[in-house]
A = this chain, B = another copy of it.
Amino acid sequence: MENHTPPDRALMKDLTIENITDNVCIINSNCDNVRLKFLLDRLVNYLHDFARETRLSITEWEAAIGFLVQVGKISTDVRHEFVLLSDVLGLSLLVDAIDHPKHPGATEGTVLGPFHTADAHVVGAGHQISHDPNGEPLLAVCSIRDTAGRPLGGVSVDVWETDSKGFYDVQYADRVEPDGRAIVESDADGVIFFKAIVPVPYPIPHDGPVGKLLMKLKRHPYRPSHMHFMFKKPGYDRLITALYLRGDPYESSDAVFGVKESLVVDLYKVGDHEGYAEKYGVPPETKLLTYDFVLLTNEEALKVRDAEAWKEAKRQGGLKVVDGLLVPEDASETSTTKTATD
């Protein structure tokens, strides 16, 4: 990565299987964003290695291009087929694991999935977030704390789940309002509680190009029963996670690799907890979901992320860490890395 050759030294004619990769990287190296330059350099190298080592045929390349176009075409604000593709290839889980390295005291993250939307309503404590009359009633009572065990109030918590048939609201063509999703805020005791329905297993959308790919790979499209959560609070690391129901038939074969043992929960009954039925105004036989979430501060998250990044930098050699991101050791300190994703 120490190549300082100016781009005007790039060969741009008579390029071959052997020399094209270096020359594409040289011509890209004019970029003054060191992180973007680094990402492009690695991307071009891996993309070319993939084509070279598989000897990708033009017919296969055409099929891949056609596939990607279809994935883009079917994507909308509420159908995220590229996220789904990333999910079934294990990339989403991997990126989450990289960006949210395990911290012994904090809740593990998992895949966002393709069904998060930006239009959920902010609702008050105790709200019923699902309006499916066929769903099995569920009360969720969860706490949110920092790693020192202090309750965190004012956390914005995005929650989303399917209806009793296993469909998210956005999978209905006649959707007018968000349903099965809401944004709740933790109170001063760091508690959120809301009414919902017991999650059910469901297939990820498999009527599109990603579903066809799964079929060719003889993979089933099912996800085990779960409820999604996204936690946001200024000063704290955004946590995207989910809770999975123990004993689900797909607990050990999730199509998108999201299940973690620490996120698998048993459901109880509200009546099992003294005073809960009265306090939350639900019948004692109502199913109860509880969990104690622990968020990292930005500093704690950056510290563990930085430590992991430096470990990787040392493993590879020739790299350093700036703003938590890997860049070549010789990259100018003044170069902006923050705009890599602008």
Which residues of A line the B interface, CB within 8 A? 1-6, 12-17, 20-21, 23-24, 27-28, 30-33, 36-40, 42-44, 46-63, 65, 68-73, 75, 80, 82-83, 86, 89-100, 215-220, 222, 251-254, 257, 259-261, 308-309, 312, 316, 324-326, 340-342
Can you offer 24 A-B residue contacts whose CB atoms are under 8 A?
Answer: A1-B220, A5-B253, A17-B98, A20-B257, A23-B90, A27-B217, A36-B216, A42-B54, A46-B46, A46-B47, A51-B94, A53-B312, A53-B326, A55-B326, A56-B98, A57-B95, A58-B100, A59-B341, A61-B91, A62-B341, A63-B341, A69-B82, A70-B72, A72-B82
- Asked, given contacts A82-B69, A219-B27, whether A58 binds B95 with beta carbons under 8 Å apart, the answer is yes
How many Å from the CB of A176 to the closest CB on chain B? 24
**Quick check: B55 and A50 within 8 Å, CB to CB?**
no
In-complex Cβ contact of A215 among B1, B73, B93 (8 A): B1
Task: Compute how far the CA of A316 lies from the CA of B50 in the bound complex, rounded to whole angstroms.
Answer: 13
Task: Compute how far the CA of A60 lies from the CA of B91 in the bound complex, rounded to whole angstroms.
Answer: 13
**Quick check: B326 and A253 within 8 Å, CB to CB?**
no
Task: Compute how far the CA of A27 lies from the CA of B8 in the bound complex, rounded to whole angstroms.
Answer: 46
A325: B residues at CB distance < 8 A: 55, 57
A73: B residues at CB distance < 8 A: 72-73, 75
**Quick check: B93 and A15 within 8 Å, CB to CB?**
yes
A27: B residues at CB distance < 8 A: 217, 219, 253
In-complex Cβ contact of A218 among B3, B24, B89 (8 A): B3
How many Å from the CB of A185 to the closest CB on chain B? 23
- Asked, given contacts A20-B90, A21-B90, whether A39 binds B55 with beta carbons under 8 Å apart, the answer is no
- Asked, given contacts A82-B65, A260-B14, A341-B60, whether A48 binds B216 with beta carbons under 8 Å apart, the answer is no
A253: B residues at CB distance < 8 A: 4-6, 12, 27
Task: Compute how far the CA of A64 lies from the CA of B216 in the bound complex, rounded to whole angstroms.
Answer: 26
**Quick check: A219 and B28 within 8 Å, CB to CB?**
yes
**Quick check: A51 and B1 within 8 Å, CB to CB?**
no
By Cβ-Cβ distance, the 8 closest A-B pairs, closest first, are A72-B72, A63-B341, A24-B90, A30-B218, A46-B46, A58-B99, A4-B220, A13-B259
In-complex Cβ contact of A15 among B23, B257, B340 (8 A): B257
